[in-house]
Amino acid sequence: MTASPTDGPARFALRPRIVRRSVPGEAFLPGDLHAVTRRVLAARGITSPALLDTSLKGLLPASTLGGTARAVALIAEEMAQDGRILVVGDFDADGATSTALALRALRAMGAREVDYLVPNRFEYGYGLTPGIVELAAERAPALLITVDNGISSLEGVARAKALGMRVVITDHHLAGSALPAADAIVNPNLADESFPSKCLAGVGVIFYVMTALRALLRERGWFAARGLPEPNLASLLDLVALGTVADVVPLDQNNRRLVAQGLARIRAGQCQPGIAALATVGGRNRARLAASDLGFALGPRLNAAGRLADMSLGIECLLSDDPTRCAAIAEQLDALNRERRELEDVMRETAFDSVERELGATLGGELPPAFCLFDEHWHQGVIGIVAARVKDRFHRPTIAFAPGDAGTIKGSARSIPGVHIRDALDAVAARHPELLTRFGGHAMAAGLTLAEDALEPFRAAFCAQVATLLDAETRERRIDTDGELGERDFSLELARELARVAPWGQGFPEPRFEGEFVITDRRVVGGRHAKLVLAPRGARGTLAAIAFGAAGEPWFARAESIHAVYKLDVNDYGGVETVQLVVDYATSL
């Protein structure tokens, strides 16, 4: 382990091993693609033109997603009777986009009595809890549709059924040992589900359900009988793209189609006014919007509502067709996001201090299998980000806890490749059923609730469980690269091609290259970012570069030359496009 002061005074950080991705021997890709692009795609398993296709004609059919037939039959029945439908969402970006998509689609298909309810995380917690059902009951719905939640809501579904409501669950999270007694469940991750794409986000699942509903209504002559135009659900793919990328689900081929088509609509100016407003306050050019912009600019501003206030604000931004109102809401979301950043800065420093005290006092600098961190002053809405920051720095599964309701603490977990965090929690719960009040999630992220006095025994049990899952390779922090670039490869043409050739994201990583550079100029921008001018070793000329959050790194202050891992980016400043390197990691030479 090495010391690195990225976020303040000198701190521990786990030095990564840099590994070049292997490339298959043969890849039959179009010859008009740059050789570097062909190499990058081949390393990600794209070895034929067919695998580059992101058109909707190759999308997996909605009829192949189990549970949809029963779900849409129930929804269509309520619509025919003008029954009241209530969509119950979640308080993150996936939940917000899922909720907005469900309401837009149902209203476009002629549902007259449809509204939404999204829980305030600080009052009701996650999912369709009995408390949320009681709140829903005040609106007297005939049918509840959950989006991005519900698969673990056994008690909530039971309460809804007791109150005479029917329940359709649409979710993508992993189920527990028992399923709720809902009237229909649509979830690609059910144990007996054969749908090929297990990576759908919650917004992808509800998009599939709405597609199947439209097909059923068309078959029944619904639209013709009511003089309704059949809605083009492709117009909602911008919501699908935003929710999918923001939820950091793997971009398998099916998800790449959804994201690519959604991005195409945004770039063409055919997006919801709320998404346009979020792009504007995020300082993003819609005509060049990339998947990374959804993940790092639009998603966080939408998430800020659920983290610090009420996600209804974010949902209203996505539901409104009034650009002026959307712009005003987006400004509010931007202000919340700035507040979230300030909270995160303080909490992150506290978390790093806590880890370093543990390392110095009890472990002599040796990393434990996992971290469980708690601070009585932490904010529930930001602990997930803090867990992610600690996980990134120390490459260990991390759970950050904040105070919950009387006598409880709420935790948010983030994991590393090779450690399925939800399964690890399930194993702890099986061995120590008295420790966890509730939990849920998926491979890389999870949420949980404990009694406050259970923290220390839980910490011991969780670390012991994770220790059984860590081998030498899993413990090692690793950065994969696509090798070096030649002098002629530092071109605007290649940067543009890499930006447009595919939506990059989780499971389909954005190209990163490595090389040696001489630093010819450096300065600090934005208080903590490193602005550089770099000269590639063995090549002529210089390149502009930026390393976000790296102004405190030792190499930035002292190094004359660095070995850098970077992305080739297009910088659009003042309407002029130039090549820029975005440095993700660097060490002194």
Q: Which tens digits make up the pLDDT trace of 383-423?
A: 999 999 999 989 999 999 999 988 999 999 999 999 999 99
pLDDT of residue 364: 57
Per-residue pLDDT tens over the stretch 498-524: 998 889 999 999 999 999 999 999 999
Q: Give me the CATH code for the 61-335 domain, please.
A: 3.90.1640.30
pLDDT of residue 365: 60
Q: Is the pLDDT of residue 564 over 90?
A: yes
pLDDT of residue 469: 95
Phi, then psi, of 526 in degrees rounded to 5: 65, 20
**Residue 417 near residue 480, CB atoms below 8 Å:** no
Per-residue pLDDT tens over the stretch 115-154: 999 977 777 777 899 999 999 999 999 999 999 999 999 9
The token duo for 240 is 């699908």
pLDDT band at 7 (very low <50, low <70, confident <90, very high): very low
The token duo for 293 is 């912009």
pLDDT of residue 538: 86
pLDDT of residue 1: 40
The token duo for 414 is 């983030």
Question: Residue 513 pairs with which residues in a beta bridge?
Answer: 566
The token duo for 99 is 């909720």
What 8-state DSSP symbol labels residue 361? I
**Residue 444 near residue 423, CB atoms below 8 Å:** no
Locate the domains of the chain by residue range.
Answer: 2-47+478-588, 61-335, 367-475
pLDDT of residue 13: 66
- Say which CATH topology domain 2-47+478-588 has: OB fold (Dihydrolipoamide Acetyltransferase, E2P) (2.40.50)
CA-to-CA separations, 390 to 236, 350, 382, 446, in angstroms, rounded: 35, 11, 13, 15
pLDDT of residue 28: 86
Give the residue among 550, 553, 584, 555 at the shortest CA–CA distance from 567: 584
pLDDT of residue 180: 97
Q: Does CATH place domain 367-475 in 3.10.20.30?
A: no
* 3-state SS assignment for residue 247: coil
pLDDT of residue 176: 84
Q: Are strands 408-414 and 12-13 parallel, antiparallel or unpaired?
A: unpaired
pLDDT of residue 3: 36
pLDDT band at 490 (very low <50, low <70, confident <90, very high): very high
pTM: 0.91
